[in-house]
Amino acid sequence: MTLRLEDVSAGMELPTLAKVVTREQVRSYADASGDQNPLHRDDDVARAAGFPGVIAHGMFTMAHLASCLVRWLGDPGALKRLRVQFRAPVFIGDTIVAGGVVRSVDPSTRRAVLDVWVTVERDGTTEHAIRRSEAEVELA
Amino acid sequence: MPLNVARQGTTYPAISFLVEEDHVRRFASAVGDDGTFVSPTFVTAPELAAGLARVVADPDLGLDLARVVHGQQEYEWTRPVAIGERLTVRSTIESIRAKGGLELLTLRTEMRDGQDELVVVGRSTLIVRAPT
């Protein structure tokens, strides 16, 4: 059931969604999306580009953010727009955490705009893989 | 070698993309969705096939994939994509501009259904680093 307008207000935080990124997930994502860039498959290529090993696709991380939004919304069709900026690479073994906060709600259009992000936790440090990003959703 | 700015405005030939159930399920599994719906970003698959694959292979553009990072991505959905439908997917080089020592290439990709109704628009900005 789709999240209802009366249940959403500015300042509300989304339940965060976390997962540990595995090599298998990234390989499956390469196959399913068709993005076979060797940076995501071959450690040697990734090291030559200055990374410690293969990196996850930016779109893999964006997909995780979309999953977080859909779980909150209860309906994939309620996600109307998602714009993200990729700010930092995600490595195998990293924990990515998607989250967001409602910026505004427009009762006349039943739409809400959210600030959204994905953080990366690695060796006790946290940085943003996705930040300064925005979602627009349609509420029931 | 810089990008060929004259390619701005280029629209690549459309592709026809069938949304297959098995493909949707594999994508959902890869991104951690439960497979009961089409993941919103499943549209990345047709977008890449119609857009990135073409710009990389465009001999007149001069894009070196080894120097590219994905800077920004946007999707605007009119409705969710449905299993079994056939989308017509067409990418256009919306802009090529310089920023600092970098070049930004923005691709706009339209996905339309059998009634020629817009289903999704994707906008992808690639950052091209200067050759070292």
Q: Does B39 contact A49 at a Cβ distance shorter than 8 Å? A: no
The tens digit of pLDDT for each residue in A36-50 reads 999 999 999 999 989
User: In CATH, what number does B5-128 get?
Assistant: 3.10.129.10
> Smallest Cα–Cα separation from B110: which of B65, B78, B83, B85?
B78
Direct distance between the N- and C-terminal alpha carbons of chain A, in angstroms, rounded to an integer: 9
Q: Map residue A69 onto helix, strand or coil.
A: helix
Checking if the pLDDT of B2 tops 90, the result is: no
B102 interface with A at CB cutoff 8 Å? no
A37 interface with B at CB cutoff 8 Å: yes
Number of structural domains (chain A) is: 1
Place of tokens 């906060």: A101
Q: Residue A91: exposed, middle, or buried by beta-carbon count in 10 A (0-12, 13-18, 19+)?
A: middle
Which of A32, A64, A76 is closest, CB to CB, to B23?
A32
The tens digit of pLDDT for each residue in A63-110 reads 999 999 999 999 999 999 999 999 999 999 999 999 999 999 999 999
A105-133 tens-digit pLDDT:
999 999 999 999 999 999 999 999 999 99
Domain of residue A88 covers 5-138
Q: What is the CATH number of the domain that holds A128?
A: 3.10.129.10
What's the confidence (pLDDT) of residue B132? 65
Element (H, E) at B80: none
Q: How far is A19 from chain B (nearest CA, A)?
A: 9
Rounded to two decimals, the ipTM of the complex is 0.96
CB contact B40 to A (< 8 Å): yes
Inspect the interface and report whether the beta carbons of B29 and A28 lie closer than 8 Å: yes
Q: Domain boundaries in chain B?
A: 5-128
- Between positions 77 and 116 of A, the ones with CB within 8 A of B are 77, 79-86
- Please tell me the distance from the alpha carbon of residue B33 to that of residue B41, in angstroms, as a whole number: 11
For A58, nearest residue in chain B (alpha carbons): B70
Q: Do A82 and B27 touch (CB under 8 A)?
A: no
Nearest-Cα residue of chain A relative to residue B132: A49
Provide the token pair at A33.
Answer: 């999306």
Q: Do A81 and B29 touch (CB under 8 A)?
A: no
A40–chain B Cβ distance below 8 A for any pair: no
